[in-house]
A and B are shown apart, each in its own frame.
Chain A
Amino acid sequence: MIRDELQDGELRDIAQRLGAAAAERLDVEATAHAVLERLGEAPRVVRPVWRRPAWLSVAAALLLLLGTRIALRLVHPNAPPVPGSVVAPAGMDVNDLSPGQLREVLRTIDQPVDDGIGPADAGLEDLSAPELRRLLRSLEG
Protein backbone atom coordinates (compact mmCIF):
# COMPACT_ATOMS: atom_id res chain seq x y z
CA MET A 1 0.00 0.00 0.00
CA ILE A 2 1.44 3.32 -0.95
CA ARG A 3 0.90 6.10 1.53
CA ASP A 4 -0.73 9.33 0.48
CA GLU A 5 1.87 11.47 2.22
CA LEU A 6 5.38 11.49 0.95
CA GLN A 7 8.21 13.36 2.59
CA ASP A 8 11.02 15.06 0.70
CA GLY A 9 13.53 12.64 2.19
CA GLU A 10 11.55 9.66 0.98
CA LEU A 11 11.34 11.15 -2.48
CA ARG A 12 15.11 11.55 -2.48
CA ASP A 13 15.52 7.95 -1.33
CA ILE A 14 13.39 6.73 -4.20
CA ALA A 15 15.26 8.94 -6.62
CA GLN A 16 18.57 7.53 -5.42
CA ARG A 17 17.35 4.02 -6.15
CA LEU A 18 16.33 4.95 -9.68
CA GLY A 19 18.60 3.37 -12.23
CA ALA A 20 20.54 1.41 -9.61
CA ALA A 21 19.83 -1.85 -11.43
CA ALA A 22 20.96 -0.40 -14.77
CA ALA A 23 24.14 0.88 -13.14
CA GLU A 24 24.85 -2.50 -11.59
CA ARG A 25 24.36 -4.27 -14.88
CA LEU A 26 26.71 -1.94 -16.72
CA ASP A 27 29.99 -3.60 -17.62
CA VAL A 28 32.30 -0.73 -16.80
CA GLU A 29 35.47 -2.31 -18.18
CA ALA A 30 33.78 -3.19 -21.45
CA THR A 31 32.42 0.36 -21.64
CA ALA A 32 35.88 1.85 -21.04
CA HIS A 33 37.34 -0.41 -23.71
CA ALA A 34 34.61 0.45 -26.22
CA VAL A 35 34.99 4.17 -25.57
CA LEU A 36 38.75 4.03 -26.12
CA GLU A 37 38.27 2.01 -29.27
CA ARG A 38 35.77 4.49 -30.69
CA LEU A 39 37.94 7.44 -29.74
CA GLY A 40 40.85 5.76 -31.52
CA GLU A 41 38.82 5.31 -34.70
CA ALA A 42 38.49 9.04 -35.20
CA PRO A 43 41.73 10.77 -34.24
CA ARG A 44 41.35 13.83 -32.16
CA VAL A 45 40.96 16.99 -34.14
CA VAL A 46 43.34 19.64 -32.97
CA ARG A 47 41.86 22.93 -33.98
CA PRO A 48 44.62 25.16 -35.41
CA VAL A 49 44.83 28.45 -33.64
CA TRP A 50 45.99 31.13 -36.06
CA ARG A 51 48.20 33.73 -34.51
CA ARG A 52 49.07 36.79 -36.48
CA PRO A 53 52.84 36.90 -36.63
CA ALA A 54 54.47 40.08 -35.43
CA TRP A 55 56.23 40.58 -38.76
CA LEU A 56 52.87 40.79 -40.50
CA SER A 57 51.79 43.70 -38.32
CA VAL A 58 55.10 45.44 -38.93
CA ALA A 59 54.89 44.84 -42.68
CA ALA A 60 51.35 46.25 -42.75
CA ALA A 61 52.44 49.35 -40.84
CA LEU A 62 55.40 49.81 -43.19
CA LEU A 63 53.20 49.44 -46.24
CA LEU A 64 50.81 52.02 -44.85
CA LEU A 65 53.68 54.41 -44.21
CA LEU A 66 55.09 54.03 -47.73
CA GLY A 67 51.62 54.33 -49.26
CA THR A 68 51.01 57.53 -47.38
CA ARG A 69 54.32 58.99 -48.60
CA ILE A 70 53.59 58.08 -52.20
CA ALA A 71 50.10 59.57 -51.96
CA LEU A 72 51.48 62.79 -50.49
CA ARG A 73 54.06 63.08 -53.29
CA LEU A 74 51.38 62.58 -55.92
CA VAL A 75 49.12 65.22 -54.39
CA HIS A 76 51.94 67.68 -53.57
CA PRO A 77 54.83 66.94 -55.92
CA ASN A 78 56.80 70.03 -54.83
CA ALA A 79 56.11 69.78 -51.16
CA PRO A 80 59.09 69.72 -48.80
CA PRO A 81 59.98 66.35 -47.35
CA VAL A 82 57.59 65.10 -44.76
CA PRO A 83 58.95 65.69 -41.27
CA GLY A 84 60.11 62.48 -39.82
CA SER A 85 61.01 60.94 -43.16
CA VAL A 86 64.27 59.12 -43.52
CA VAL A 87 67.07 61.53 -44.11
CA ALA A 88 70.64 60.48 -43.90
CA PRO A 89 73.15 63.16 -42.94
CA ALA A 90 74.07 65.18 -46.05
CA GLY A 91 76.90 63.89 -48.12
CA MET A 92 77.08 60.65 -46.30
CA ASP A 93 76.37 57.18 -47.56
CA VAL A 94 74.55 54.67 -45.41
CA ASN A 95 77.75 52.65 -45.36
CA ASP A 96 79.53 55.51 -43.62
CA LEU A 97 77.14 55.66 -40.68
CA SER A 98 78.01 54.12 -37.35
CA PRO A 99 75.49 51.74 -35.71
CA GLY A 100 74.53 54.51 -33.30
CA GLN A 101 73.89 56.93 -36.18
CA LEU A 102 71.91 54.27 -38.03
CA ARG A 103 69.72 53.68 -34.99
CA GLU A 104 69.22 57.41 -34.60
CA VAL A 105 68.08 57.72 -38.23
CA LEU A 106 65.74 54.78 -37.87
CA ARG A 107 64.29 56.24 -34.70
CA THR A 108 63.16 59.28 -36.67
CA ILE A 109 60.65 56.97 -38.30
CA ASP A 110 57.90 56.84 -35.80
CA GLN A 111 56.75 53.44 -37.02
CA PRO A 112 57.73 49.90 -36.20
CA VAL A 113 59.99 48.63 -38.95
CA ASP A 114 61.10 45.26 -40.10
CA ASP A 115 62.03 43.83 -43.43
CA GLY A 116 62.39 40.32 -42.31
CA ILE A 117 65.87 40.79 -40.93
CA GLY A 118 66.41 38.93 -37.72
CA PRO A 119 63.68 37.64 -35.46
CA ALA A 120 60.25 39.15 -35.99
CA ASP A 121 60.11 40.61 -32.51
CA ALA A 122 63.64 42.00 -32.49
CA GLY A 123 64.07 45.67 -31.61
CA LEU A 124 66.53 48.09 -33.21
CA GLU A 125 68.95 47.46 -30.37
CA ASP A 126 69.11 43.82 -31.34
CA LEU A 127 70.16 44.46 -34.94
CA SER A 128 73.76 44.44 -36.09
CA ALA A 129 75.24 47.28 -38.17
CA PRO A 130 74.83 45.43 -41.52
CA GLU A 131 71.24 44.61 -40.64
CA LEU A 132 70.56 48.22 -39.75
CA ARG A 133 72.03 49.34 -43.09
CA ARG A 134 69.91 46.89 -45.01
CA LEU A 135 66.85 48.03 -43.15
CA LEU A 136 67.61 51.70 -43.80
CA ARG A 137 68.17 51.04 -47.51
CA SER A 138 64.89 49.24 -47.74
CA LEU A 139 63.17 52.26 -46.23
CA GLU A 140 64.89 54.65 -48.61
CA GLY A 141 63.49 52.67 -51.51
Chain B
Amino acid sequence: MAQADPVAVQPPDAALIAAWRSGDEQAAAELVRRHARALARFLAGAGALEADVDDVVQETFIRAFRALDRFRGQCQFRTWLLTIGGNVLKDAARRAKRARLVPLDEEIHSPDGDPHERTVAVELEGRLQRGLERLPRMQREVFLLRAQQGMEYDDVAAALGTTPGAARVHYHHAVKRLKEYVK
Protein backbone atom coordinates (compact mmCIF):
# COMPACT_ATOMS: atom_id res chain seq x y z
CA MET B 1 0.00 0.00 0.00
CA ALA B 2 1.35 3.32 -0.99
CA GLN B 3 2.01 5.65 1.86
CA ALA B 4 1.14 9.29 1.60
CA ASP B 5 4.09 11.58 1.56
CA PRO B 6 4.41 13.61 4.71
CA VAL B 7 2.91 16.99 4.11
CA ALA B 8 5.49 19.71 4.33
CA VAL B 9 4.54 22.29 6.89
CA GLN B 10 4.17 25.64 5.22
CA PRO B 11 5.20 28.61 7.30
CA PRO B 12 2.34 31.05 7.75
CA ASP B 13 2.42 34.36 5.94
CA ALA B 14 3.23 36.16 9.17
CA ALA B 15 6.42 34.11 9.58
CA LEU B 16 7.47 34.84 6.01
CA ILE B 17 6.77 38.54 6.49
CA ALA B 18 8.89 38.56 9.65
CA ALA B 19 11.67 36.73 7.82
CA TRP B 20 11.55 39.22 4.95
CA ARG B 21 11.69 42.11 7.41
CA SER B 22 14.85 40.65 8.86
CA GLY B 23 16.44 40.40 5.44
CA ASP B 24 15.50 36.95 4.11
CA GLU B 25 14.90 37.46 0.40
CA GLN B 26 13.67 33.92 -0.12
CA ALA B 27 10.79 34.66 2.22
CA ALA B 28 9.66 37.35 -0.20
CA ALA B 29 9.98 34.92 -3.11
CA GLU B 30 7.84 32.41 -1.23
CA LEU B 31 5.15 35.03 -0.61
CA VAL B 32 5.15 35.81 -4.34
CA ARG B 33 4.82 32.11 -5.20
CA ARG B 34 2.01 31.72 -2.73
CA HIS B 35 -0.14 34.65 -3.79
CA ALA B 36 0.76 35.57 -7.37
CA ARG B 37 -1.92 33.49 -9.10
CA ALA B 38 -4.73 34.67 -6.84
CA LEU B 39 -3.55 38.22 -7.43
CA ALA B 40 -3.50 37.67 -11.19
CA ARG B 41 -7.06 36.33 -11.10
CA PHE B 42 -8.22 39.29 -9.06
CA LEU B 43 -6.52 41.80 -11.35
CA ALA B 44 -7.84 40.16 -14.50
CA GLY B 45 -11.31 40.13 -12.98
CA ALA B 46 -10.97 43.77 -12.03
CA GLY B 47 -10.20 44.75 -15.62
CA ALA B 48 -6.44 44.39 -16.11
CA LEU B 49 -5.44 43.76 -19.68
CA GLU B 50 -4.33 40.21 -20.29
CA ALA B 51 -0.99 41.48 -21.56
CA ASP B 52 -0.55 43.73 -18.53
CA VAL B 53 -1.37 41.26 -15.78
CA ASP B 54 2.25 40.17 -15.35
CA ASP B 55 3.47 43.75 -14.96
CA VAL B 56 0.66 44.72 -12.61
CA VAL B 57 1.32 41.66 -10.46
CA GLN B 58 4.99 42.60 -10.19
CA GLU B 59 4.23 46.21 -9.40
CA THR B 60 1.75 45.16 -6.74
CA PHE B 61 4.31 42.98 -4.99
CA ILE B 62 6.92 45.71 -5.16
CA ARG B 63 4.55 48.22 -3.58
CA ALA B 64 3.45 45.71 -0.99
CA PHE B 65 6.97 44.82 0.11
CA ARG B 66 7.96 48.45 0.28
CA ALA B 67 4.90 49.25 2.37
CA LEU B 68 5.12 46.18 4.57
CA ASP B 69 5.93 48.31 7.61
CA ARG B 70 2.37 49.58 7.41
CA PHE B 71 0.85 46.10 7.40
CA ARG B 72 -0.30 45.44 10.93
CA GLY B 73 -2.08 42.16 10.34
CA GLN B 74 -5.47 43.87 10.35
CA CYS B 75 -6.52 41.43 7.64
CA GLN B 76 -4.97 38.53 5.79
CA PHE B 77 -1.83 39.35 3.83
CA ARG B 78 -3.54 38.19 0.65
CA THR B 79 -6.49 40.52 1.17
CA TRP B 80 -4.13 43.42 1.80
CA LEU B 81 -2.16 42.49 -1.30
CA LEU B 82 -5.28 42.39 -3.46
CA THR B 83 -6.35 45.84 -2.33
CA ILE B 84 -2.90 47.16 -3.24
CA GLY B 85 -3.36 45.46 -6.58
CA GLY B 86 -6.63 47.35 -7.00
CA ASN B 87 -4.77 50.61 -6.36
CA VAL B 88 -2.01 49.74 -8.81
CA LEU B 89 -4.61 48.91 -11.44
CA LYS B 90 -6.48 52.14 -10.80
CA ASP B 91 -3.27 54.16 -11.12
CA ALA B 92 -2.30 52.35 -14.30
CA ALA B 93 -5.74 52.93 -15.81
CA ARG B 94 -5.62 56.59 -14.86
CA ARG B 95 -2.23 56.97 -16.51
CA ALA B 96 -2.98 55.05 -19.63
CA LYS B 97 -6.74 55.60 -19.84
CA ARG B 98 -6.86 52.41 -21.73
CA ALA B 99 -8.18 49.84 -19.29
CA ARG B 100 -10.40 47.56 -21.23
CA LEU B 101 -11.89 44.13 -20.94
CA VAL B 102 -10.30 40.90 -22.00
CA PRO B 103 -11.50 40.31 -25.55
CA LEU B 104 -13.83 37.37 -25.71
CA ASP B 105 -12.06 35.79 -28.64
CA GLU B 106 -8.92 35.31 -26.54
CA GLU B 107 -10.84 32.97 -24.29
CA ILE B 108 -13.00 31.30 -26.91
CA HIS B 109 -9.99 29.45 -28.29
CA SER B 110 -9.77 27.37 -25.12
CA PRO B 111 -9.88 23.72 -26.15
CA ASP B 112 -11.43 22.52 -22.88
CA GLY B 113 -14.96 21.15 -22.72
CA ASP B 114 -17.87 21.19 -25.07
CA PRO B 115 -17.46 24.04 -27.60
CA HIS B 116 -21.03 25.25 -27.18
CA GLU B 117 -20.92 25.18 -23.38
CA ARG B 118 -17.55 26.81 -23.45
CA THR B 119 -18.83 29.58 -25.69
CA VAL B 120 -21.75 30.22 -23.35
CA ALA B 121 -19.45 30.23 -20.35
CA VAL B 122 -17.09 32.65 -22.02
CA GLU B 123 -19.95 34.91 -22.95
CA LEU B 124 -21.17 34.91 -19.35
CA GLU B 125 -17.68 35.73 -18.14
CA GLY B 126 -17.42 38.54 -20.64
CA ARG B 127 -20.74 39.99 -19.53
CA LEU B 128 -19.76 39.71 -15.90
CA GLN B 129 -16.48 41.43 -16.58
CA ARG B 130 -18.15 44.26 -18.45
CA GLY B 131 -20.62 44.57 -15.61
CA LEU B 132 -17.80 44.71 -13.08
CA GLU B 133 -16.20 47.55 -14.96
CA ARG B 134 -19.38 49.58 -14.65
CA LEU B 135 -19.64 49.11 -10.89
CA PRO B 136 -18.28 51.63 -8.42
CA ARG B 137 -14.84 50.56 -7.29
CA MET B 138 -15.91 49.61 -3.77
CA GLN B 139 -18.71 47.37 -5.04
CA ARG B 140 -16.40 45.79 -7.60
CA GLU B 141 -13.66 45.03 -5.09
CA VAL B 142 -16.04 43.77 -2.43
CA PHE B 143 -17.66 41.49 -5.00
CA LEU B 144 -14.34 40.11 -6.25
CA LEU B 145 -12.88 39.61 -2.79
CA ARG B 146 -16.03 37.86 -1.65
CA ALA B 147 -17.22 35.96 -4.73
CA GLN B 148 -13.96 35.30 -6.54
CA GLN B 149 -11.53 35.01 -3.64
CA GLY B 150 -14.00 33.57 -1.13
CA MET B 151 -13.10 35.92 1.69
CA GLU B 152 -15.16 36.63 4.77
CA TYR B 153 -16.88 39.97 5.15
CA ASP B 154 -14.76 40.81 8.20
CA ASP B 155 -11.57 40.44 6.22
CA VAL B 156 -12.95 42.27 3.19
CA ALA B 157 -14.06 45.13 5.41
CA ALA B 158 -10.71 45.36 7.19
CA ALA B 159 -8.85 45.48 3.89
CA LEU B 160 -11.10 48.10 2.33
CA GLY B 161 -11.46 50.27 5.40
CA THR B 162 -15.15 49.74 5.91
CA THR B 163 -17.41 47.76 8.21
CA PRO B 164 -18.55 44.19 7.63
CA GLY B 165 -22.14 45.41 7.43
CA ALA B 166 -21.27 47.97 4.78
CA ALA B 167 -19.27 45.38 2.87
CA ARG B 168 -22.32 43.12 2.89
CA VAL B 169 -24.46 45.94 1.52
CA HIS B 170 -21.91 46.68 -1.22
CA TYR B 171 -21.85 43.01 -2.12
CA HIS B 172 -25.61 42.76 -2.44
CA HIS B 173 -25.80 45.90 -4.56
CA ALA B 174 -23.05 44.51 -6.77
CA VAL B 175 -24.81 41.17 -7.16
CA LYS B 176 -28.08 42.87 -8.01
CA ARG B 177 -26.50 45.00 -10.69
CA LEU B 178 -24.30 42.23 -12.08
CA LYS B 179 -27.30 39.96 -12.50
CA GLU B 180 -28.81 42.62 -14.69
CA TYR B 181 -25.69 42.77 -16.81
CA VAL B 182 -25.17 39.03 -17.04
CA LYS B 183 -28.68 37.71 -17.64
Binding site for B on A (CB under 8 A): 1-6, 8, 11-12, 14-29, 31-36, 38-40, 44, 47
Please tell me which stretch of B6-14, B41-49, B151-159 contacts chain A, meaning at least 4 of its Cβ atoms lie within 8 angstroms of it: B41-49
Question: Interface residues of B, CB < 8 Å — how many?
Answer: 48
The 3 closest A-B pairs by CB, nearest first: A19-B44, A19-B41, A18-B45
Closest-CB distance, A16 to chain B (whole angstroms): 6
B169 an interface residue at 8 Å Cβ cutoff? Answer: no
Q: Which of B3-61 contact A (CB under 8 A)?
A: 25, 28-29, 32-33, 36-38, 40-45, 48, 50, 53-54, 57-58, 61
Residue of A nearest to B123 (CB): A2
Residue of B nearest to A33 (CB): B29
Closest-CB distance, A47 to chain B (whole angstroms): 7
> CA–CA, A84 to B65, complex, Å?
57
Partner of B58, one of A12, A19, A25, A31: A31
Given contacts A2-B120, A11-B182, A31-B57, contact A18 B40 (CB under 8 A): no
Given contacts A2-B120, A28-B33, A47-B69, contact A18 B148 (CB under 8 A): yes
Given contacts A21-B110, A28-B32, A32-B33, contact A15 B43 (CB under 8 A): no
Instruction: Decide: B148 and A23 in contact? CB cutoff 8 A.
Output: no
Partner of B62, one of A8, A35, A47: A35
Instruction: Decide: A39 and B28 in contact? CB cutoff 8 A.
Output: yes
Partner of A26, one of B45, B53, B147, B179: B53
Q: Which residues of A contact B120 (CB under 8 A)?
A: 1-2
B94 an interface residue at 8 Å Cβ cutoff? Answer: no
Closest-CB distance, A71 to chain B (whole angstroms): 46
| Interface secondary structure of A, over-half rule | helix
Instruction: Decide: A2 and B124 in contact? CB cutoff 8 A.
Output: yes
Q: Which residues of B contact A6 (CB under 8 A)?
A: 179, 182-183
Q: Which residues of B contact A23 (CB under 8 A)?
A: 37-38, 40-41, 44
Q: Mark B59-85, 1 if CB is under 8 A from A, else 0.
A: 001100110010000000000000000
Q: Which residues of A contact B36 (CB under 8 A)?
A: 26, 28, 31-32
B178 an interface residue at 8 Å Cβ cutoff? Answer: yes
> CA–CA, A55 to B42, complex, Å?
53
Closest-CB distance, B17 to chain A (whole angstroms): 13
Partner of B43, one of A5, A19, A32: A19
Q: Which residues of B contact A2 (CB under 8 A)?
A: 120, 123-124, 127, 182-183
> CA–CA, A26 to B25, complex, Å?
21
Instruction: Decide: B37 and A15 in contact? CB cutoff 8 A.
Output: no
